């Protein structure tokens, strides 16, 4: 798998044209975080998993969930992602290791100090984990930065992933935690948790929409990963998910 080619920027733009949407939150001064800026304007945020500079993206996810945590690699990736980008810069998002889910404070401090402006927390299953995730982004920031939308002027986004049946069972309690910027689904892991064949199974699709509807009711942006085989497939999937109400999409294509 590799990030989408630059040509897909036009595809995503075409898919977004004509999509009617309203701002999720009251308009504020322009943010340095492109995810926040897009959502404030009622527009989707489009990104992918990459460590390279990509001017066509709103955000780029640096994935540290698997393997040994490499803070030096995170710093290098943040510099590469921000290189040559416009203002507001592409938002570097770091997905932290699953092992740090329950006590994320130290690793979150490191990635924020490295220049990340959003953090993705994998496999959130309980209210306590959600509280720890949000709180870890609020403590001890020398810059005074804070999480959005809890702080309307905040520049940091906490993205919490829902990836299991346990997380869905506790969804209402999780969504009640103040300060969640985005709920991001993990359909492949959700399929494994539900013992289904894959993310396109009807039951998994129903679970995905259960989470989406709960987020829409609470005005919390919901995100989804798109894995496409071609730019045309990416266009179709992007248009579908936007029409359903998803606000944050990580779009990737596979290499055959």
| Residue 13 clears pLDDT 60, i.e. is over it | no
Looking at residue 6, what is its pLDDT? 37
Looking at residue 56, what is its pLDDT? 78
Q: How confident is the model at residue 190 (pLDDT cuts 50, 70, 90)?
A: very high
> In whole angstroms, what is the distance from residue 230 CA to residue 108 CA?
35
∠ CA 147-37-145, rounded to 5°: 25
pLDDT per residue as tens digits for the range 37-49: 999 999 999 999 9
| Residue 14 clears pLDDT 80, i.e. is over it | no
Looking at residue 22, what is its pLDDT? 52
What would the mean pLDDT of 141-152 be, rounded to a whole number? Answer: 78
Question: What is the extent of the structural domain holding 113?
Answer: 2-253
In the numeric block, the tokens 């009251």 are attached to: 26
Could you give the number of structural domains in the chain? 1
Looking at residue 53, what is its pLDDT? 66
Percentage of the chain beyond pLDDT 70 is 82
Please classify residue 56 by burial: count the beta carbons closer than 10 Å to its beta carbon, then call 0-12 exposed, 13-18 middle and 19+ buried: middle
What would the mean pLDDT of 226-254 be, rounded to a whole number? Answer: 94
Q: How confident is the model at residue 67 (pLDDT cuts 50, 70, 90)?
A: confident
DSSP state of 89: P
On the CB side of 27, CA atoms within 13 Å amount to: 4
CATH number at 161 reads 3.20.20.60
| Residue 15 clears pLDDT 50, i.e. is over it | no
Q: How confident is the model at residue 87 (pLDDT cuts 50, 70, 90)?
A: low
| Residue 180 clears pLDDT 60, i.e. is over it | yes
| Residue 124 clears pLDDT 70, i.e. is over it | yes
Looking at residue 7, what is its pLDDT? 37
Q: Which residues contact 252 (CB under 8 A, 6 or more apart)?
A: 1, 2, 3, 4, 48, 49, 225, 226, 227, 228
């Amino acid at each position: 798998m590799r990030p989408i080619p630059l040509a897909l920027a036009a595809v995503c733009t075409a898919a977004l044209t004509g999509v009617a949407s309203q701002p999720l939150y009251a308009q504020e001064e322009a943010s340095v975080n492109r995810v926040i800026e897009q959502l404030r304007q009622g527009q989707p945020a489009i990104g992918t998993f990459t460590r390279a500079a990509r001017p066509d993206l709103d955000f780029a996810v640096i994935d540290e969930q698997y393997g040994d945590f490499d803070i030096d690699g995170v710093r290098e990736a943040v510099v590469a992602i921000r290189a040559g980008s416009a203002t507001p810069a592409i938002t570097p998002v770091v997905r932290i290791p699953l092992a740090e889910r329950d006590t994320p404070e130290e690793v979150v401090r490191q990635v924020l100090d490295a220049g990340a402006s959003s953090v993705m927390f994998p496999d959130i299953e309980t209210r306590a984990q959600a509280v720890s995730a949000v709180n870890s982004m609020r403590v001890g920031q020398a810059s005074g930065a804070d999480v959005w939308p809890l702080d309307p002027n905040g520049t940091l986004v906490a993205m919490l992933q829902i990836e299991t049946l346990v997380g869905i069972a506790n969804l209402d309690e999780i969504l009640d935690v103040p300060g969640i910027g985005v709920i991001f689904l993990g359909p492949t892991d959700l399929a494994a948790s539900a013992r289904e064949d894959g993310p396109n199974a009807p039951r998994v699709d129903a679970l995905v929409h259960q989470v989406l509807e709960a987020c829409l009711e609470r005005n919390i942006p919901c995100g989804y990963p798109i894995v496409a085989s071609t730019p045309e497939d990416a266009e179709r999937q992007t248009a579908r998910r936007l029409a359903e109400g998803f606000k944050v999409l990580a779009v990737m294509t596979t290499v055959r």
